[in-house]
Structure 1
Amino acid sequence: MTIKRRDVLVAALAGAGLSSLPLGVFAQEVSRDGGTLVLSSSVEPVHLNAVFSTQAGPSEVAAKVFDGLVDFDVDNTVQPGLAQSWEVSADGLRVTFRLREGVKWHDGKPFTSDDVKFSAAAWGKYNARGRIVFSALDRVETPDVLTAVFHLKEPAPALLAALAARSLPVIAKHSYPDGDADLAAAKSNNAPVGTGPFRFVEWERGSHIILDRNPEYWDKNKPRLDRIIIRILPDTATTSVALESGNVHVSSFIPLSNIERLKTKSELQVIDDPRGSLYNVGALVLEFNLDRDRWRDRRIREAFAHVIDRDFIQKNLYFGYATPTETPIPPGFAQYHNPDVPRYPYDLGRAEALLEEAGYKRDGSGIRLRLTNDPAANNATHTQVAQYLKGQLAKIGVDLQVRAQDFGQFVNRVYTARDFDTAIYHATVGPDPALGVHRFYWSKNFQPGVAFSNAANYNNPEVDQLLEAAGRELDFEKRKQLYFEFQKVVQTDLVRIPIVSPRYPIVASAKLRNLVTSPAGATGSFADTYFSEK
């Protein structure tokens, strides 16, 4: 059944710019299975398949519509997914997955090992995270319909961590065209067919995405909800109003200035649990486009580093919901975080001296450089940080034009057209550095058209060697030291400047239970989630 816009959006919520959902949508919100959960997103997705993009939007749909070969519980312990068991050879070069019997795609066709083989090829070609891990893949053998054997050219310790639905969902081979077609452009990405707990029903751009309960889900008695509606609400202030009115049940896209006030509302709960945010641990960064000649002079990049007051940004723009970081693996990822890296303290005098030394003199109007900055439009704080940076740079004679655009335009400008000087965005670094960090620094991951890849076009053979060695090292202590050395090198080169590591608490209806059951948090499956009056 399809719900049309007129059925979903019936009345304006006065003063909020938000249309409310019909009362019938909430009629089943009682202490039993059933009911409709409304989740908000600030981003209009480009499409709905996380294999072909690591951006928000597909990530929110991924684990609800698709399954991964494995899953993780809230303590980040690996659990069976579409693979009910697996075996890793002693040398780490062969992983054998035994698949679940009787699993069906949402269109009724059987799930088989051919789907896994097809998915693995797509992960390695199209996904910014998958390109890293699956560069080690030699081939996938399918000796029978319920067995898939991954043969690796070298060990890949991040392999299992990559195979949850939030990162690399398994996709249906039969729903994509044959031959050499561009899978990322396939129509099926806009109406995905998965094996997950919820089935895709409808996507009305600019309004909502509707997912319904999969009655034939392999994990019996799940999901517990009847329906999920993902509302596209770019204005995060509107989302706060919608949560308080009950028109939205879950969101992590809330102005951080509102969190403390929302904590006082008895009808709401604020979830700020690091166990449910491992996939979301990351860093807000300023990135330079090294295709522009000026940025090849390291002194200019260092000058930018010295105008950033991280403590000011943490307190005044993130309202305490962030940790300053000067490394791409922030303190929240403690096992690989190196606190001993080159640092660039806030020092406008030093910043101006570096520009003078590089030959950039003030003109008659006091300007040394005129540049652009593109903040990612999926979070209003990114623009606030860009405006802060604009004010700081003006003090040393740099005119920074902050450009406004929607998120799709940002992705196209930075990762496809490459029409940018600098960019500001937040990106996750977990659940393993090989998945979250390599994609931005590995020279082989400069891939125009692939979102959240190496947009700087950074190429340092030493860094490539460190990342590739860390990506195959099975000994934790040796792997840790490789990442420690990597952080020192890249913080010397400064092609990306980490600023803070934000936290994005989830605000939800107090009636919801089992909302966070995995490291994916609000981007998890919601298969166990239900409403309760208690």
Structure 2
Amino acid sequence: MSNNDDVSTEVPGAVLSRRSMLFRLGVGGAVVAGLPTLLAACGDSGSSGSSSSTLRIGLTSEMDSLNPFVQQSAAAVIATHMLYPTLLRLEGDDFTVEPDLADDYEVSADGTSITFRLKTKAAWSDGKPVTARDAAFTINTLVQHSGSAAALLAQYVVGITGAEAPDDRTLVVRYSEPIANALGLLTRVVILPEHVWTEPASGDGAGLKTVAYDEGTVCGGQFVLTKYTPKEIVLLKAHADWYGEKQSISTLGFVTYGAPDAMIKALEASEIDAVALLSPSTVGGSLERLADRGLRTQQAPGFVMNNLYFNVNPKKTQHRELLDPQVRRALSMGIDRARIVEVVLFGMGEVAGSLVYPAMGAWHDDSVVPDAFDIAAANEILDGLGLARGSDGVRTAGAEKMSYKVNLASGLAGGDRILQIISDGWKQLGVEVKPNTLDAAAMIDAISAPDGKYLTNDIAVWGFLPASPDPSAVLDHFITDSIGGFNNCHYSDPDFDRAYVEQNATLDVDERRSLVYDMQNRFFEARAMLALVYVNALAASGPKLTGYQMSGFGPFNAVSRDQVTQLRLA
């Protein structure tokens, strides 16, 4: 991202470091001076459906690296998925698995192997054919180095024991046990050219992280790289030997802006054609202004969720009253979530209860509803626990005042206003908030301080965007094996862990849904994390762009191919 500053999704047996996070919420970068001019010189954005159409996309998060083994920004992940093939893709409003490099596939009766037949017409940008051996090499490399150099991508090969290519068109992927979302996970694996990556993958695989990108990089996806300056310029052109549906876009450029306002002004001035993903809190009431200028805006139930995390490590050294679920429940009742939706999101979102998003469809249990905003009832709980108010109105717990440093991610859109609403509510409970705004790296360190022991942090406010629409993409954040990774609460529940493993291996959809519902309810009752609001995905484009495919991940994302193949510039 970046919807994010950084992200990681954890899987059993492949715990990622705190630095291995893949999607957090929006970090701005400096606008790249002259890039709109550079893009204009590369193609004619006014030629309807012509082979010289140039699409210019605005971002508010910089691309840190195109190397999939080290990249942390979602914008970079999007570009990388345009540069490489994937076996499968997710398309449509319901994120249906569709063939990509694969022509077809067959899952074995016992669910422990998947056989793919690949397209015959696929070539790398250096002219060499794309074969099943490239796919087997990529998957085996991720499995082999899942605990080290490939840790960032380990979540996508969970359960895989290995892959083999009996011939150039046939790929067999084998699993230790059935994995319910195996096909969805494979949509996230970009296939790399074996003849280029064999040497970096040798030994301990450390070389995987050092592969540099430039206009000579061998690619095999929809586009190839023509210009790249890390964190500044990313310019792509259509791959002549692309195996899929041809798109009318011949040149694709990403422009990074330091602030959403600057990006919107560039869109209004036709310096860019579209924006990748907006936060409602940054555009607010300006949607009507955009419409008045002839710009098109679209919304969809989104995959961004803003949250409050309690540190529930039983070994924490301060404010141990926060280990009491009743205290956490009272604090939850002191948060006016509806006001956050109204004031911060301008109505473009909804109050949140479950950690599984409504955008995930039937996986979301809508019986999990957030605690009602009820100051009187919350005060009654705290009074009943003997947490008396001092002369200054702030309650005490033992020798400590209930005055908390709340770590706030600077990249969280509207974060200051969210924290102010929380503070206003908690003040009525006799609880004091002391904001501590930090950048992504500092947040990661503060949450797990000191040295990954989770002893001194009390409360953090941040958000995340999952890597896929499958519920495992959020459930696995809070298994015990994710402590040290994306488990910002230090939440550990053996029953939750067992249910996670079971649902992941349950192929019957109804049975799996029942397990997922149980997990949602169990996690909600613990209140280790308070889901605050679900944020709508919001996009904007100029009047010349048609064929926009909006989804909860935004119109430009790393899960769909149609986002580009259906676009037209009038």
- TM-score in terms of structure 1 length: 0.83
**Percentage of matched positions with identical amino acids:** 20
- Structure-to-structure mapping, 1:322-337, within 5 angstroms: 322-337=349-364
Rounded Cα–Cα distance in structure 1 between residues aligned with 2:384 and 2:105: 58
- Structure-to-structure mapping, 1:217-366, within 5 angstroms: 217-219=242-244, 222-251=246-275, 252-254=277-279, 255-265=282-292, 267-273=294-300, 280-291=302-313, 292-293=316-317, 294=320, 295-341=322-368, 343-355=370-382, 365-366=392-393
Unaligned 5+ residue runs, structure 2? 1-30, 395-400
List per-residue Cα deviations over 1:71-96 (Å, max 9, x = no partner): 23324332211222211111111101
Greater shift in the superposed pair: 174-183 or 120-129: 120-129
| Secondary structure of the corresponding residue to residue 264 of structure 1 | helix
Aligned to 1:14: none
| Secondary structure of the corresponding residue to residue 433 of structure 1 | coil
Greater shift in the superposed pair: 184-193 or 385-394: 184-193
List per-residue Cα deviations over 1:358-405 (Å, max 9, x = no partner): 665556654423433344444422343133223333443444333334
Q: Could you tell me which amino acid in structure 1 is paired with residue 344 of structure 2?
A: L
Cα gap change, 1:370/1:180 in structure 2, threshold over 3 Å: closer, same or farther?
farther
8 A contact 1:41–1:232 mirrored in 2: yes
8 A contact 2:359–2:552 mirrored in 1: no
List per-residue Cα deviations over 1:335-363 (Å, max 9, x = no partner): 11212237422123444455556665556
Q: 1:95 aligns with which of 94, 98, 114?
A: 114
8 A contact 2:55–2:249 mirrored in 1: yes
Q: Could you tell me which amino acid in structure 1 is paired with residue 504 of structure 2?
A: G
Rounded Cα–Cα distance in structure 2 between residues aligned with 1:460 and 1:216: 50
Cα gap change, 1:380/1:518 in structure 2, threshold over 3 Å: closer, same or farther?
closer
Aligned to 1:30: 47
Aligned to 1:16: none
Aligned to 1:522: 556
Rounded Cα–Cα distance in structure 2 between residues aligned with 1:258 and 1:128: 42
8 A contact 1:93–1:151 mirrored in 2: yes
Cα gap change, 1:179/1:354 in structure 2, threshold over 3 Å: closer, same or farther?
farther
Aligned to 2:536: 503
Rounded Cα–Cα distance in structure 2 between residues aligned with 1:197 and 1:435: 28
Aligned to 2:234: 209
Rounded Cα–Cα distance in structure 2 between residues aligned with 1:109 and 1:517: 35
List per-residue Cα deviations over 1:3-42 (Å, max 9, x = no partner): xxxx97249xxxxxxx876754564422123232221222
Unaligned 5+ residue runs, structure 1? 1-6, 12-18, 275-279
Question: Is 1:492 the counterpart of 2:525 in the alignment?
Answer: yes
Greater shift in the superposed pair: 104-113 or 236-245: 104-113
**TM superposition shift of 1:508:** 0.7
8 A contact 1:48–1:57 mirrored in 2: no
| Secondary structure of the corresponding residue to residue 368 of structure 2 | coil
8 A contact 2:353–2:370 mirrored in 1: yes
List per-residue Cα deviations over 1:383-441 (Å, max 9, x = no partner): 43133223333443444333334445545655796585433333335744344222212
Aligned to 1:141: 164
Greater shift in the superposed pair: 467-476 or 27-36: 27-36
List per-residue Cα deviations over 1:128-147 (Å, max 9, x = no partner): 89655633222222323332
8 A contact 1:131–1:445 mirrored in 2: no
Cα gap change, 1:110/1:515 in structure 2, threshold over 3 Å: closer, same or farther?
same
Cα gap change, 1:10/1:130 in structure 2, threshold over 3 Å: closer, same or farther?
closer
Cα gap change, 1:342/1:214 in structure 2, threshold over 3 Å: closer, same or farther?
closer
Number of equivalenced pairs: 508
**TM superposition shift of 1:186:** 2.6
Aligned to 2:25: none
8 A contact 2:101–2:243 mirrored in 1: no
Q: 2:85 aligns with which of 64, 67, 70?
A: 67
Q: 1:440 aligns with which of 472, 477, 484?
A: 477
- Structure-to-structure mapping, 1:76-155, within 5 angstroms: 76-120=95-139, 121-122=141-142, 125=147, 131=154, 134-155=157-178
Question: Is 1:422 the counterpart of 2:442 in the alignment?
Answer: no
Rounded Cα–Cα distance in structure 1 between residues aligned with 2:415 and 2:566: 31
**TM superposition shift of 1:317:** 1.0
**TM superposition shift of 1:480:** 1.1
| Secondary structure of the corresponding residue to residue 504 of structure 1 | strand
Greater shift in the superposed pair: 33-42 or 320-329: 33-42
Rounded Cα–Cα distance in structure 1 between residues aligned with 2:407 and 2:127: 44
Greater shift in the superposed pair: 359-368 or 331-340: 359-368
Rounded Cα–Cα distance in structure 2 between residues aligned with 1:342 and 1:159: 30
Q: Could you tell me which amino acid in structure 2 is paired with residue 93 of structure 1?
A: T
**TM superposition shift of 1:157:** 2.0
Rounded Cα–Cα distance in structure 2 between residues aligned with 1:513 and 1:462: 49
**TM superposition shift of 1:69:** 0.9
List per-residue Cα deviations over 1:281-307 (Å, max 9, x = no partner): 342221233344534332333233122
| Secondary structure of the corresponding residue to residue 402 of structure 1 | strand
| Secondary structure of the corresponding residue to residue 459 of structure 1 | coil
| Secondary structure of the corresponding residue to residue 463 of structure 2 | strand
| Secondary structure of the corresponding residue to residue 329 of structure 1 | coil
| Secondary structure of the corresponding residue to residue 404 of structure 1 | strand
Q: Could you tell me which amino acid in structure 2 is paired with residue 384 of structure 1?
A: R
8 A contact 1:29–1:531 mirrored in 2: no
**TM superposition shift of 1:490:** 0.3
Rounded Cα–Cα distance in structure 1 between residues aligned with 2:193 and 2:312: 38
Rounded Cα–Cα distance in structure 1 between residues aligned with 2:407 and 2:130: 42
Q: Could you tell me which amino acid in structure 2 is paired with residue 135 of structure 1?
A: V
**TM superposition shift of 1:185:** 3.4
Aligned to 1:455: 488
Question: Is 1:196 the counterpart of 2:221 in the alignment?
Answer: yes
Cα gap change, 1:345/1:434 in structure 2, threshold over 3 Å: closer, same or farther?
closer
Cα gap change, 1:455/1:105 in structure 2, threshold over 3 Å: closer, same or farther?
farther
Rounded Cα–Cα distance in structure 2 between residues aligned with 1:415 and 1:217: 44
Cα gap change, 1:66/1:363 in structure 2, threshold over 3 Å: closer, same or farther?
farther
8 A contact 2:536–2:552 mirrored in 1: no
Q: 2:182 aligns with which of 159, 181, 200?
A: 159
Aligned to 2:423: 390
Rounded Cα–Cα distance in structure 2 between residues aligned with 1:206 and 1:130: 21
8 A contact 1:133–1:156 mirrored in 2: no
Q: 2:75 aligns with which of 46, 49, 57?
A: 57
Cα gap change, 1:26/1:388 in structure 2, threshold over 3 Å: closer, same or farther?
farther
| Secondary structure of the corresponding residue to residue 332 of structure 1 | helix
Rounded Cα–Cα distance in structure 1 between residues aligned with 2:370 and 2:40: 55
Cα gap change, 1:8/1:35 in structure 2, threshold over 3 Å: closer, same or farther?
farther
Q: Could you tell me which amino acid in structure 2 is paired with residue 253 of structure 1?
A: L
Question: Is 1:467 the counterpart of 2:500 in the alignment?
Answer: yes
8 A contact 1:287–1:423 mirrored in 2: yes
**TM superposition shift of 1:182:** 3.8
Rounded Cα–Cα distance in structure 2 between residues aligned with 1:143 and 1:23: 46
- TM-score in terms of structure 2 length: 0.78
Rounded Cα–Cα distance in structure 1 between residues aligned with 2:544 and 2:278: 19
Rounded Cα–Cα distance in structure 1 between residues aligned with 2:120 and 2:372: 57
Aligned to 2:3: none
